[in-house]
């Protein structure tokens, strides 16, 4: 349950006991958002990965390191933004000793939506950056395509200004070094557009 007068620590504590969908049964813990309390920018990813599930913090695994690199390249200070996910538990299937990421379904995304809405209303960011299709479709509807509308600023009534771009994990999945470099450069360009907007 969302506390009546939420604070970030209060939300995080309440979310720790969330059983709104079945993912709490297999995730190690709820991975809540973190960052600057009145951040101008909130980044929203899909869900925690294996490292995040273990450490209890968002974007600390390989995709998080790549995001850090891109933020530095774009001149954005990670300590001044807020980072969270559309879904707060790691969804996975076993593969030998490894835990393989599974895409959350509509019911899981919708079960977690009140937490995301509470974070947005508490932080009051000027811009929401939606990382990847899951986050973008959670906020902009199922017909939204990151591939055709990435890097554009989108206005919707009652919500902060939004921009969608790829999830850093998609860059890690690029088939070779050359395509990875091209993908990373495009990602950095999107974040530079964000940095320019923030200065403007």
DSSP states of 99-145: EEE----HHHHHHHHHHHHHHHHHH--SEEEEESHHHHHHHH-TT--
Q: Which DSSP state fits 24?
A: G
Domains of the chain, first to last = 8-199 (3.40.470.10)
Average pLDDT over residues 85-104: 95
Give the integer Cα–Cα distance in Å for 90 and 72. 27
State percent of the chain over pLDDT 90. Answer: 96
Q: At what angle do helices 106-123 and 133-140 cross, to 10 degrees?
A: 70
- Confidence bin at 5 (pLDDT 50/70/90): confident
Give the integer Cα–Cα distance in Å for 194 and 43. 11
Contact 118, 69 (CB under 8 A): no
- pLDDT at position 2, please? 85
- Of 57, 194, 71, 189, which is closest to residue 125 (Cα–Cα)? 194
**Measured CA angle at 152 (ends 151, 157), to 5 deg:** 135
- Confidence bin at 200 (pLDDT 50/70/90): confident
Q: Which DSSP state fits 42?
A: E
- Confidence bin at 1 (pLDDT 50/70/90): confident
SS3 7: coil
The tokens 């490894």 sit on which residue? 98
Contact 19, 66 (CB under 8 A): no
- pLDDT at position 4, please? 84
This model's pTM is above 0.95: yes
SS3 25: helix
Sign of CA dihedral 79, 85, 88, 89: negative
- pLDDT of residue 156 exceeding 90: yes
Average pLDDT over residues 135-143: 94
SS3 187: helix
- Confidence bin at 51 (pLDDT 50/70/90): very high
């Amino acid at each position: 349950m969302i506390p009546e007068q939420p604070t970030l620590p209060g939300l995080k504590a309440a979310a720790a006991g969330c059983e709104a969908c079945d993912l709490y049964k297999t995730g190690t813990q709820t991975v809540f958002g973190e960052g600057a309390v009145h951040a101008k920018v909130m980044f929203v990813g899909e869900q925690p990965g294996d490292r995040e599930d273990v450490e209890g913090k968002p974007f600390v695994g390989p995709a998080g390191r790549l995001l850090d690199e891109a933020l530095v390249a774009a001149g954005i200070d990670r300590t001044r933004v807020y980072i969270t996910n559309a879904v707060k538990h790691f969804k996975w299937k076993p593969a030998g000793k490894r835990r393989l990421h599974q895409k959350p379904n509509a019911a899981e995304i919708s079960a977690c939506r009140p937490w995301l809405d509470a974070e947005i209303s508490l932080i009051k960011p000027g811009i929401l950056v939606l990382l990847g299709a899951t986050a973008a479709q959670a906020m902009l509807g199922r017909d939204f395509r990151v591939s055709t509308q990435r890097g554009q600023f989108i206005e919707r009534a009652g919500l902060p200004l939004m921009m969608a771009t790829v999830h850093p994990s998609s860059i890690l999945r690029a088939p070779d070094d050359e395509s990875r470099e091209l993908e990373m450069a495009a990602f950095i360009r999107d974040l530079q557009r964000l940095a320019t907007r923030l200065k403007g």
